[in-house]
Structure 1
Amino acid sequence: MSASKRDELVQKALASFYKGGFHAIGMDRLAKETGVSKTAIYKHFRTKEELILATLRLRDEQFRNWLRRRIEALAAEPEGQLLAIFDALEEWFEEAGFRSCMFIKASSEYQDSSHPIHATAAEHKRLLSIYFAEIAQKTNAQDPEGLARQLLIVKEGAIVLAHLHEHKQVAADARTVAKNIVDTALADI
């Protein structure tokens, strides 16, 4: 299997795992949904978990790049960018295929914090927090890391609730909470 075929497999596997979950999608079903034989899958990935890790790395790259682009397109100033996080989330929630966060799912299905899949999910969230802190530093907030953590908490809660309930109200409510947090953090300046 060529590198491009491998990349195509990872992309198709990502879609299958995102839609159906990690434990629920067995190798037979994965082969059927991706159109790649189990033999071909195992030529590049010794285990299903190795393939899951590859899909998580791809999703991390895709999601963080998308989020950064959307935030920067939605707001020019750092304070506005902190709120644009939630405008971007609303766009994501409105996508027809929205099924919550792949990393929340991964950490739920692989609950041992020392497991590589759980650790990869945690790393994704850590990298988002760093990005939010970078934006917060540009606002001159006294505690940009604390502000970033608070916004990440609101973001993660919004994702879960958008999956469970009416996403439009969740996104609007999350943005309101985020605005209160940002206003409070910047009032101390």
Structure 2
Amino acid sequence: MNKELEPASKSLKRDEMIKYAYDLFYKNGFHATGVDTIAEGTGISKRTLYKHFTSKEGLIVATIDYYHAMRYETISGYLKKSTLKNPVEKILVLFDFLAELVDSGMLDGCFAMNAKTEYANKAREIEAAYEAYVAAVQQLIELYLEEGNVTNSKSAAIQVVMLFEGAIIRSKATGNSQSVRLAKEAAKLICNQ
């Protein structure tokens, strides 16, 4: 094999494993999905999988990072395409985005939050990957709130994230987007103080 092609080939195989594992973890959960199932589904050996990821937890962190990049890009794009001019109104569109997901049948919740919940107090690297995702979303919200001259935008951003996360959990439990709409109303109050 051409030595120049090896790193690209390894990267493609790694990406394939991450995407396959992501789909299985999201569908079945993290503890319920074994490394054997992932290896079998991608046609690679467990040994090869462990060359790329030192542990199942390492693979989970890689899938959270994949979700982080994908979801952050989707959220950013959703906000950018909004025709609203007011930055505060624009950031509240996040709740509309979530309501659309829920109304379309996406009731599996936040991938990163699901991982953190299943591995709470058991795998620090998984919790850290979740926290990095939430911090990025919080920072994005804070930027919009600062632009909208919201007093104490950092505190307000934390509160909006809490409402957003709560709406995700509640909509997953109820199977509808009513909690998302209520969370948006609460976020409006926080942002317009």
| Matched-pair contact (CA < 8 Å) for 2:150–2:192 | no
How far residue 96 of structure 1 moved from its aligned partner, in angstroms, is 3.6
AA in 2 matched with 1:101: C
Distance in 2, matches of 1:145 and 1:40, equals: 44
Distance in 1, matches of 2:189 and 2:108, equals: 28
Distance in 1, matches of 2:74 and 2:122, equals: 27
1:109-188 alignment runs, 5 A limit: 109-112=118-121, 115-184=124-193
| Matched-pair contact (CA < 8 Å) for 1:71–1:88 | no
Distance in 1, matches of 2:116 and 2:35, equals: 20
Runs (5+) with no aligned partner, structure 1: 185-189
Partner of 2:101: 92
| Matched-pair contact (CA < 8 Å) for 2:107–2:175 | no
1:8 to 9, 12, 16: 16
For normalisation by structure 1, the TM-score amounts to 0.88
- Identity across matched positions, percent: 29
How far residue 179 of structure 1 moved from its aligned partner, in angstroms, is 1.7
Q: What CA RMSD, in Å, does the superposition of the two structures yield over aligned residues? A: 1.9
| Matched-pair contact (CA < 8 Å) for 1:113–1:119 | no
2:65 to 49, 57, 60: 57
Aligned: 1:27 with 2:62: no
1:33-44 alignment runs, 5 A limit: 33-44=41-52
Runs (5+) with no aligned partner, structure 2: 1-8
Partner of 2:55: 47
AA in 2 matched with 1:40: T
Three-state SS of the structure 1 residue aligned to 2:192 is helix
How far residue 154 of structure 1 moved from its aligned partner, in angstroms, is 0.6
How far residue 37 of structure 1 moved from its aligned partner, in angstroms, is 3.6
